[in-house]
Structure 1
C-alpha cells in the first residue's frame, strides 16, 4: 500500500466520522492550499475547506457520509459516496456522488472535486425554483 492509498483510506474514514468537533482532524490529510469544489463552493486553503464543513453543520441536521468505494486511475483516487441529512426546506434528503482526489508530493490531498447532480437532487426540490427547473427539464426531455 502506498502513502496515497493510506491517505485516501484515512480521508474516507474522516468523512464517515466527521463531527463539528472533529473537522480539524482533516489537517493531517490535506495540503495547506487544498482546492475544494462542489456544486455550491469553489475554495482554496485549509481554512476555507473547514468553513465548508462548518456551513454544512449550520445548514443541515444529522449529515452523514457513507463511503461506498475507493477506485484508482493512475494517480487519481475516486471516492463514491452517499450523503444524507435533514434540511429545513427539503426534509430528509440524500444524494449519491463521486469525489475526484488529487495528491501532492507528500501524499496529502491537494484537490477534492465533488460531482453530483445538484439540479435533480437539490434545486428541483426547492419551492418555486424547483417548479421552474422541472418545467425546463420537461421541455428538454424526450
Structure 2
C-alpha cells in the first residue's frame, strides 16, 4: 500500500482520538489549507480538526478516489464529507472535494490543500445565505448551461 493510500485510510477513519497521533501522519511543520483555514504545524492542524469535531456531529470523510504516482511525492484524494451541525436534526448534504497531498521522503504528509466549493457545497444549504448563493449563481451562469 502506498503512503498516500495509508493517508487516505487515516483520513477516512479520522476520529477525535486520532488527533493524538497526528505526528505519525504529518511532519512537524506540515501545511494544511482549506477554504476556511491555512495553518502550518501540528498544533494548527490539530486545531482545525478539533474545531470540526466540536461543531459537527457524525463528521466523516468517505474516500472516493486516491490517485498517486509511486515515483512522485504528490497525490490527490477525492472525498465526500458527511456531517451534520450539532444543532441540526438531520445530516446536511455531503460536500465533495479534492485534496492535493505532498508527501515527505518518510511518507508523512508535508502539505495538504483542500479544494471544494464552499459557496455551492456548504453555504447553499443555509436558508439566508443559500438563497443569496442561488440568486448569484443564476445571475452569473450562461443561460441554459446548468
d(CA) in 1 for partners of 2:133, 2:112: 28
Aligned twin of 1:72? 68
d(CA) in 2 for partners of 1:78, 1:20: 24
Shift of 1:15: 1.5
d(CA) in 2 for partners of 1:97, 1:55: 19
* C-alpha distance after superposition, 1:23-58 (max 9, x if no partner): 122311211111111111111110110111110011
Structure 1: where are the runs of 5+ without partners? none
SS in structure 2 of the partner of residue 134 of structure 1: helix
Shift of 1:91: 4.1
Contact 2:4 2:68 in 1 (8 A): no
Contact 2:67 2:76 in 1 (8 A): yes
d(CA) in 1 for partners of 2:115, 2:88: 22
d(CA) in 1 for partners of 2:89, 2:108: 35
Contact 2:73 2:104 in 1 (8 A): no
* C-alpha distance after superposition, 1:101-131 (max 9, x if no partner): 0012333211001111111111112232222
Contact 1:11 1:26 in 2 (8 A): no
SS in structure 1 of the partner of residue 139 of structure 2: helix
Paired residues for 1:1-142 under 5 Å: 5=2, 7-73=3-69, 74-87=72-85, 88=87, 91-93=90-92, 94-141=94-141, 142=143
d(CA) in 2 for partners of 1:16, 1:25: 15
SS in structure 2 of the partner of residue 26 of structure 1: helix
Sort the Cα spacing of 1:90 and 1:130 in 2 relative to 1 into closer, same or farther, 3 A: farther
RMSD over aligned Cα atoms: 1.7
